[in-house]
Amino acid sequence: MTDHVPPPLIGITSHSPLAPDRAALAALLAQIVRGVERAGGAPVTIPPGVAPETLRAIAAHLDGLLISGGGDIDPARYGAEWHPSIGGVDPDRDRLEIELVHRFVSDGAPLFGICRGAQVLNVALGGTLYRTVEEHPGAQRHAFYPGLPYDLRPHPVQIAEDSRLAGILGAPLVAVNSLHHQAVRDLAPGVRAVAYAPDGMVEALEVIGHPFALAVQWHPEALPDAPEMRRLFEAFVAACRKRTLQ
């Protein structure tokens, strides 16, 4: 008889209860939790206001980290000025998530980012953002589509065939939903863009040489019936499980 191996403990960052779009974020967070559970992980949500020493104590027990979607990062974090389209900035959340990215990247621990999570990963490691996607030359529409479901897939993304992401999704071209008004601009050192929208906007990132540090700009949790999106959660949880056995 083999010993029972508990499911990997996965921290999921969350939004403030005062966030302006908290109802939408809560719905997406619930789908992330279900996605992690369905893949065999044990999710633990992390609120943005925890003290630094509490955060370090929590992080020490985690087998993986998932950075969820949410409001915009303070542009001062990447050397930019304020823009009228910026909203939902939460300094406590910025601090918490950037600290966690540094820890999980330096430790080689599994990290998965969704939407804002891709932007946080890039900013934490020294990259910049388009404060609004309209700053990108020739940008198509990427923001919310009012009145339409979150599982609408308005455009495809081209995946780098030699990437971890392509191996997980099983295809070089995948249709995705699009719920963001900001995006990655200058890549951070050691970070590779592994997917692009038709207008050239970065849609996914991987940290070069890391066992599993991957982030996507779309919301796979809002596409729970799509096999390729379920595989994203499964691959992440598998990497976390592998870490528990080390």
Task: State percent of the chain over pLDDT 70.
Answer: 98
Task: Look over the chain and give the mean of its residue pLDDT values, rounded to a whole number.
Answer: 95
Q: Please report, to the nearest 10 degrees, the dihedral formed by the alpha carbons of residues 62, 67, 68, 69 taken in order.
A: 170
**pLDDT tens for residues 133-168?**
999 999 988 876 667 899 999 999 999 999 999 999
Please, which residues have CB within 8 angstroms of residue 40's CB and are 6 or more apart in sequence?
A: 7, 8, 234, 237, 241
**pLDDT tens for residues 204-226?**
999 999 999 999 999 999 999 99
Query: What is the DSSP code (8-state) at residue 3?
Result: P
Give the chain's domains with CATH numbers: 9-244 (3.40.50.880)
From 136, 181, 210, 219, active-site residue: 219
From 181, 221, 234, 240, active-site residue: 221
Query: Is residue 4 annotated as part of the catalytic site, yes or no?
Result: no
With both helix axes pointing from N to C terminus, report the angle between 22-38 and 227-244 in degrees, rounded to the nearest 10: 70
Query: Is residue 221 annotated as part of the catalytic site, yes or no?
Result: yes
Please choose, from the candidates 201, 194, 82, the residue with its C-alpha nearest in 3D space to the C-alpha of residue 133.
201
**Residues in the chain, total:** 246
Q: What is the pTM of this model?
A: 0.96
Query: Does residue 2 have a pLDDT over 50?
Result: no
From 115, 136, 203, 240, active-site residue: 115
pLDDT at res. 113: 98
Query: Is residue 219 annotated as part of the catalytic site, yes or no?
Result: yes
Per DSSP, the residues of 11-65 read: EEE---TT-TTHHHHHHHHHHHHHHHHHTT-EEEEE-TT--HHHHHHHHTT-SEE
